[in-house]
Structure 1
């Protein structure tokens, strides 16, 4: 990774003489003292200042900060973890050229580890340099020891004086005040959000000119434990639910604390306080479907760990018991209510503790219908007209509720169904599609562009004119298992994996919406007259390897594809490989009419031997399939085809077995032309011999019968990308 660093000090001018003040430089043999506010060094253009920076009582850093920032925003410290005393500490440029920070007792705290006697003075510069500092250049390409893979390509990044951030993997963004002359800093803030800050030189204040997460409530835990972030307000409003109060009114990120004792005895009786359109993400003790409100409430009552439960009745009852209340948010369109568990007899406030400007949360309070005057007598008589009016109003409300209930339970309500199912994926950038919407997009599933074991794929155009591929799943699992797997797929994002845009789940209809990849699948570009040239083949081989390595080693949940084959490798406009159908093997219905519990997944010719040997399935099954695919790319034919052995009568063998036998024999004989006998003759000899040898040898190692001898996909990537073209 490459990052813009500040050149802290530069030792200049051998034996030169200067009469500049101490504010411009530090002479050899001189010191900066912690107790003297005038002992500061400023850069030539006054952008930066260095000196002692007090951040707590009698605790100081030797630091560099922005000169004109009102709060002296620090950009570097020498002793962040070892603050020095506010009396007697000093920074000295010693006569041997070393710069040393010492505490009041003379103890060494920090030093520059330089001993050049040529040094005359130390100057703080405003020069910026770019330097590769991670992975360390001293260890060459051994980046794996740092827990990183070099094929990711995001190995360096920087931002320039215009306020433009660029990285080697193509990610780029700009400050809203892009242009020269503005001092900026890029900071990973306490809430986990990455932000650009721009300095107003006249006021000394910083303003946000870009941030990675635009909606603050999307930052989990921004309002602290038990706190609720209200969507739609700018800035966002934090509020405390009923029965809670602020831990620190001056720091709302510390959250809310209950006004009651959670650890009362077993004899304690509880009730629940509701808050509408509100939820707390995560920390689910359990998740139940098709359950009544009473049953959901009893689950929480019966579990001492339960602090609240979330319940939704949108076609079916959904229940989430919560063990902790973090990441709270309130959104007007969220179709659920959170119920807080509090002791009976706890004094209930009339309203929650709310920050000014936020929306009100609901408290469990008694509500009187109408005005108090309704219930007062006039001359000993009740004002019956008011009671009749409210009785009529209640009757109308009940009628509306009945109609609404009928619509929810018996009407065709695809929007609510998708909202309900989509709650399980609320943290993902999915959108729910109705079945009718996808029928329109595909013109009633008119244009079929592919089919496989998991379903049929159709081309479609959404209302926003995006071209998509809609997979209509055939026999898939129901309920939570389906959403567990779809959530896994939705969290995965890599340039060599087909991106999922959304989903549909309406009764028996289960559909997935993917990006459309225009250059068809690899099998149609390899086993036909419009075959790929060598350059594209090698590029595709690297792309497939990168995608599988991501699935196996880097994504949030490790995924084994289980069906790597040319039909599941799609090619975009620039012939970049994109793996399709990853994760769908888990969606197959268990025990259904068209399935077996222990059935072998995959496609004949690409399945690893352990499938048939009943061995535990690991990521090495994908490695085997990858080996078959790259050998097919080299050979240009299906290796699962059966051929007759020469001179062996009627005995048969697969093209793969024959290739393995011939390649092993030729390579052992060290024949120079052995690779030319293997590579696709349709290429007419136009290929890189170095790349071809590397690809074939890698393919052969991937299809080893002993899975322990097969390489991992991240090592495959490393070998291929290190194979430069001749």
Structure 2
């Protein structure tokens, strides 16, 4: 393919010449000088953007048997040709040239791979672009027959286009995406991103990203058994999810900086937002939509945004009867009495290992197995509220179709009977349990009650169900002989391991540890460790310098033997056993985020319970916000965004799903650059302050930051932190305490927050132009970002809504703030 398109004096000429012929003909043209200069630059300049391999002209073809038959974009970003999978399957594809695994951006024949011999893609003389298999049968073709299509070109943006003689685009791959959207590629109502099947199979999968009929972008599982939308949150309408369904244009696009915007108001930005980075938005085979950025040095991809924070929320992920479990990564499992339908494919779910009987006719032959914090979304045959657990069980017994029932502990009993078991997942935040109906003769193990209270997840090492194997997690039967062999084998392995440890100890401590290894051990031990009480007593000079105190304990400043400055918190009385405290402290110590105060270790001796944190020099937010030292708007916005990122990490990314339960300015510390660091997360668990406890004084920080559901004795979710964050972000805007109570109209009292929101809403509804200026802290003298202030006020008001279902999630707050970060 030595095809080049050359422009001289705005006239386009198609040539098939070598460089010498090109120059000689240019010398005899009417524009000798201009063309000569241009052609020399084109053909010989090392920085030339021209690439003779990015064109294919009419009448030419690419063969699967010739590895050099490729179209390469002029900037070398994309390559188009035959992409081999397995031994003899090939797809006509476009992929990223510099990615390590040749990541595919587009496929023409994803469901019909061609043979490795004799297959080719041809640009026929009638204008059609055709992919044929070894037997000559057409596998795929464009709709350009009987057109004036003259050239096929792979553009620098990854778009394969067919053009006529006037350079008009007659067909483009951008109109037919497979599972990936590229920057500047329009996504419309006629497009859809559909996942591949996974496991090396590029065939059309079950998960799709598309514009629904109500103009809203959604993710859907469309499998062989069911079809379910699962994103955005199906419990809310378009408005509740921050979208709109009034704009019927249905168009979206990802730009070059990593910013995605849509007509339904869906908008998000890559965490590394900037120009010059190669990106892709891909509907992955696990049902999550992710934005990736390419590291040009390593050729590897980094996730810079994803739609679903908790993967078990994806519907259909584990097939019929399957349950998604975090161990700590999401894995599929089968409930007791079930086994994998196909050991190589979780999409086919689990099948029962028994024949069903009608519980109405034979109630004595069935039983119920409790699966804590497990639910199967949808397929409810009945719903009842305000009934007891026994009454719910009776409803399922009286229905032959009922396979299980879910009973939710949300103040008043809620009963859901299930006729099908799809979309199974387990989460310690789910306020209920599933009761699986099984024949009495099926032998099952009891389900483990998840450790900890409702506001944090189980330890990474725990497993949800006893008796589930690590590979399929579906084995519920076995013979006693197997256990004898298993225990014997374990004993032998244990003995060998103990011998090995003994030899290592003898070698290391009798012969000395090499200095390099010793240094490595020292560095590791400094990451997170157990301190002695005397060590911390010496570090704090007998707890001399008190930095602050609160409901959970007193904080002292200390200096460790390696000269690190730390903050040591003395916790109050705790009823936790030493084993539980140790386990939970280790879990919290593994949590790491730039906007969370790092825990360095703990002390556990007799009744002493101490936690050791990194020292944050600029003290807490309240010392700056409510004092004479006025902090500027730039710092306030940074604090709002950083605090949101820290809470979003705890709620959505952290494997422990920690709910803080005590968000307030006193618990937001500021480093030297005024970057916020949230402190005291996880203390609700370590101090055994149960989130359902009616004794409010044990669970609140400062009166006024507590969400209404505390007083209503409702199960506590992450939305309590959202409420508290809303108070904090409004205080950042206004610069005063909004948690104080004030006297209004005589003896009637209301919070400063309530009065503030009334005033702001009144000005907004009254159409006052300067309502934002009237709301922002007057001490700033008008020096603030109007767009950021308006967004922060809107977010704050949404966060403190009494209806927790109307409050946004922390990850959506982060995205909203990021959109106006550079305003």
- The equivalent residue for 1:16 is 14
Aligned equivalents of 2:299, 2:567: Cα separation in 1: 42
Q: 2:268 aligns with which of 138, 146, 150?
A: 150
| Aligned partners of 1:91 and 1:101 also within 8 Å | yes
Partner of 1:703: 800
Q: TM-score, normalised by structure 2?
A: 0.48
**Cα gap change, 1:436 to 1:656, in 2 (>3 Å):** same
Counterpart for residue 244 of structure 1: none
**1:661 Cα shift?**
3.8
User: Residue 512 and residue 134 in structure 1: after superposition, are their counterparts in 2 closer, same or farther (change >3 A)?
Assistant: farther
User: What's the CA shift string for 1:288-331, capped at 9, x where partnerless?
Assistant: xxxxxxxxxxxxxx9999xxxxxxxxxxxx999996568xxxxx
Displacement of 1:574 in angstroms is 1.8
Change (3 A) 1:687 1:557: same
Residue deviations 1:182-218 (CA, integer Å, cap 9, x gap):
xx64379xxxxxxxxxxxxxxxxxxxxxxxxxxxxxx
Give the C-alpha shift of residue 679 in structure 1: 3.4
The CA distance in 2 between the partners of 1:123 and 1:681, in whole Å, is 57
Q: Offset at 1:569?
A: 0.9
| Residue deviations 1:555-592 (CA, integer Å, cap 9, x gap) | 3333322111110111122212222112221222369x
Report the alpha carbon displacement of residue 547 of structure 1 after superposing the two structures with TM: 2.5
Q: How does 1:203-602 map to 2 (within 5 A)?
A: 324=469, 343=484, 362=496, 430-476=528-574, 477-479=576-578, 481-483=580-582, 485-589=584-688, 600-602=699-701
Residue 523 of structure 1: how far off its partner (Å): 0.5
In the alignment, is residue 679 of structure 1 matched against residue 776 of structure 2? yes
Looking at CA atoms only, which structure, 1 or 2, has the larger radius of gyration? 1
* d(CA) in 2 for partners of 1:56, 1:81: 14
Shift of 1:622: 1.8
Matching of residue 662 in structure 1 with residue 776 in structure 2: no
Partner SS for 1:138 = strand
**Helix, strand or coil for the counterpart of 1:457?**
strand
Distance 1:9 1:631, change over 3 A: farther
Asked if 2 retains the 8 angstrom alpha-carbon contact of 1:15 and 1:120, the reply is: no
Cα distance, 1:650 vs structure 2: 4.7
Q: CA deviation at 1:18?
A: 1.9
Residue by residue, what CA displacement relative to the aligned partner does 1:55-111 show, whole Å, maximum 9, x if unpaired? 6555445679999xxxx9866695676432244322223335654332123344456
Quote the offset at 1:364 in angstroms: 12
Cα distance between partner residues in 2 of 1:319 and 1:619? 22
- Structure 2: segments with no counterpart, 5+ residues: 7-11, 20-51, 161-180, 188-250, 279-290, 303-327, 330-442, 447-460, 472-480, 503-520
| Aligned residue in 1 for 2:243 | none
SS of equivalent to 2:642: helix
C-alpha change, 1:504 and 1:117, in structure 2 (3 Å) is farther
Aligned to 2:252: 138
Instruction: Work out whether residues 101 and 111 of structure 1, in 8 Å CA contact, stay in contact via their aligned partners in 2.
Output: yes
Cα distance in structure 1, aligned partners of 2:17 and 2:798: 71
Q: Structure 2 matches for 1:1-40, cutoff 5 A?
A: 12=5, 16-18=14-16, 28-34=58-64, 40=69
Distance 1:525-1:125 versus aligned 2 partners, 3 A rule: closer
Tell me, in whole angstroms, the C-alpha distance in 2 between the residues paired with 1:690 and 1:502: 42
Deviation, 1:659, is 2.6
Distance in 1, Cα, partners of 2:78 & 2:800: 60
Equivalenced residue count is 497
Instruction: Select the residue among 132, 137, 161 that pairs with 1:102.
Output: 132
Note if contact 1:28-1:97 (Cα within 8 Å) is conserved in structure 2: yes
Decide whether aligned partners of structure 1 residues 561 and 343 sit closer, same or farther in structure 2, where only a CA change above 3 A counts. Answer: closer
Deviations 1:350-381 (A, max 9, x none): x99xxxxxxx993999xxxxxxxxxxxxxxxx
Tell me the SS of whatever aligns to 2:115. Answer: coil
How far apart are 1:626 and its partner, in Å? 1.9
Distance in 2, matches of 1:38 and 1:173, equals: 26
1:186 and 2:284 matched: no
Contact conserved, 1:497 with 1:579, CA < 8 A, in 2?
yes
- For 1:393, the equivalent position in structure 2 comes to none
Which secondary structure state, in structure 1, belongs to the residue aligned with residue 602 of structure 2?
strand
Is contact 1:521-1:569 (8 Å) kept? yes
C-alpha spacing 1:508/1:135, structure 2 compared with 1 (3 Å): farther
1:47 & 1:428 partners in 2: Cα distance? 44
Task: Confirm or deny: 8 A CA contact 1:472 1:512 kept in the other structure.
Answer: yes
Change (3 A) 1:9 1:521: farther
| CA–CA distance in structure 1, aligned partners of residues 599 and 638 of structure 2 | 23
- 580-589 or 679-688: bigger deviation: 679-688
Between the aligned partners of 1:104 and 1:533, the Cα distance in structure 2 is 70
CA apart distance, 1:452? 1.8
**Change beyond 3 A, Cα 1:66–1:678:** closer
Distance 2:560 2:2 in 1: 58
1:693 and 1:126 map into 2 onto residues whose CA distance is: 36
Cα deviation 1:125-147 (Å, max 9, x = unaligned): 9999996379979346667999x
Which moved further from structure 2: 565-574 or 504-513?
504-513
What RMSD, in angstroms, separates the aligned Cα atoms of the two structures? 5.9
Q: CA deviation at 1:627?
A: 2.3
3-state SS of 1:362 partner: helix
What is the CA–CA distance in structure 1 between the aligned matches of 2:685 and 2:144, rounded to whole Å?
Answer: 60
TM-score normalized by structure 1? Answer: 0.54
Paired residue secondary structure (1:686): coil
d(CA) in 2 for partners of 1:145, 1:717: 20
- Report how far residue 113 of structure 1 moved: 7.3
Structure 1: how far apart are the matches of 2:127 and 2:821?
46
Shift of residue 458, structure 1, vs aligned partner: 2.8
Instruction: For 1:149 and 1:616, locate their aligned partners in 2 and report how far apart those are by CA, in whole Å.
Output: 31
